[in-house]
Structure 1
Amino acid sequence: MESKDYLKDISEIKDLMNKSSRFISLSGLSGILAGIYALIGAAIAYWLVMTYSNGILILDGQIYRLCMLTLCLVAFLSIVTGIFLTTRKAKKHGAKIWDATSKRLVLNFLIPLIVGGLYILIILSQGKYGQSGGLMLIFYGLALVNASKYSIGDIRYLGYIQIILGLIGAWRPGFGFWLWVIGFGFMHIIYGTWMHFKYDRK
């Protein structure tokens, strides 16, 4: 009987240590919505290019600026939705939303993302935009893997998938758009759904 109590105590201590070192309030639903936003944004960008640019995206054209605006809007909506749903989940479970662990999570996520974003802007300014879709996936994947140390470890697998898709996009730039759709759209929906049923519905 006592050995069972010891095992239970050890399990509880291990659980508390895991919770204190990892931010586990990420919402699977926010991943689903981010994927939906990405698919809608991709559909708008595709329609703009095919309708007004004869299928050719000119870097300094008005359609390009509209596509970039759409991309920024998708990112903004995804971030706002993620913050809102994660905050709601944290409050529901009585967890702190902004502590040392969440700060480390954000920092480790943003470093690869900001570096990648700056690099992509540099190559776009040089007219080398064929691999931008693949590079977005690669740096986003690296950000997820880097941040997974301070959150739900399962998100690193989504990061690996994004990196693989990005490498394929770098190898075959002509498929960059569709790989972007798969990575940011469908994979977010699939992975968010899995995370929702695994963690959120407990």
Structure 2
Amino acid sequence: MNQKHQEDLAHIRSMMERSSRFISLSGLSGVFAGLSALIGGMYVYQLFKANGIEYFTDEHILLSGSLVSEVIYTAFVILFFALAFGIFFTIRKSKKYNLPIWTSATKKMLFNLAIPLIAGGIFCLALQYHQAYGLVAPATLIFYGLALINAEKYTFSDVKYLGFCELFLGLISLFLIGYGLLFWIIGFGILHILYGLIMFKKYK
């Protein structure tokens, strides 16, 4: 009888988890988002070299308008592929385990995720406007970390650990302005891949 009660309680907890949290998120989304960021970051590094900028030796890097535009364009391409992979693997996981995607938990998670991301996006646009390019990479890491921490209550609790790592990395990079690209690659590339692999193994 006790075993049956335990099974019933486990089933109830599972049902509550499905209804209150977005659990269709796949670890593979993180892995491929990280790979996209790594490829994009290395492309920007090569772009700097092609324009005569030695990233790790130049103390004061001056970016032309055309180079800034190309870096921004690269960032949007990375974002597009990261979102595309996220949607693809989420749909794939939801179909495999018969999980609903568009639920009240999904809406709440996206809303809580969007607030810091939109604020951070506007803040980064202001930095671009004032040509404070060195602060853009730290700002993206900080606001992204805050977004993950803010959205954690409506998805896997593990997300907050990635959020704290991104936030911590962004705060450190504020004091090492010349190495923003390196911190960005670590945060959006390497950390995403490690997080994705852990999540895939834990929730596959």
Tell me, yes or no, whether TM beats 0.5.
yes
TM-score by length of 2: 0.93
1:12-161 aligned within 5 A: 12-55=11-54, 56-58=61-63, 60-161=64-165
Does structure 2 conserve the Cα–Cα contact (< 8 Å) formed by 1:30 and 1:85?
yes
Partner of 1:177: 181
Distance (whole Å) between structure 1 residues aligned to residue 7 and residue 102 of structure 2: 30
Distance (whole Å) between structure 2 residues aligned to residue 57 and residue 64 of structure 1: 10
Distance (whole Å) between structure 2 residues aligned to residue 163 and residue 92 of structure 1: 33
Q: Return 5+ residue gaps in structure 1 as ranges.
A: none
Q: Return 5+ residue gaps in structure 2 as ranges.
A: 55-60
Does structure 2 conserve the Cα–Cα contact (< 8 Å) formed by 1:28 and 1:196?
yes
SS at match of 1:98: coil
- After TM superposition, the runs of 4+ consecutive aligned structure 1 residues lying more than 4 A away are none
The one-letter code sitting in structure 1 at the alignment partner of 2:162 is L
Give the deviation of 1:82 after TM superposition. 0.3
Give the deviation of 1:57 after TM superposition. 4.5
TM-score by length of 1: 0.94
Distance (whole Å) between structure 1 residues aligned to residue 185 and residue 23 of structure 2: 27
Distance (whole Å) between structure 2 residues aligned to residue 118 and residue 159 of structure 1: 20
Does structure 1 conserve the Cα–Cα contact (< 8 Å) formed by 2:127 and 2:135?
no
Cα deviations across residues 138-185 of structure 1 (Å, max 9, x unaligned)?
100111111111111101100000000000011221221111110001
Give the deviation of 1:105 after TM superposition. 1.1
Does structure 1 conserve the Cα–Cα contact (< 8 Å) formed by 2:169 and 2:187?
yes
Distance (whole Å) between structure 2 residues aligned to residue 102 and residue 150 of structure 1: 7
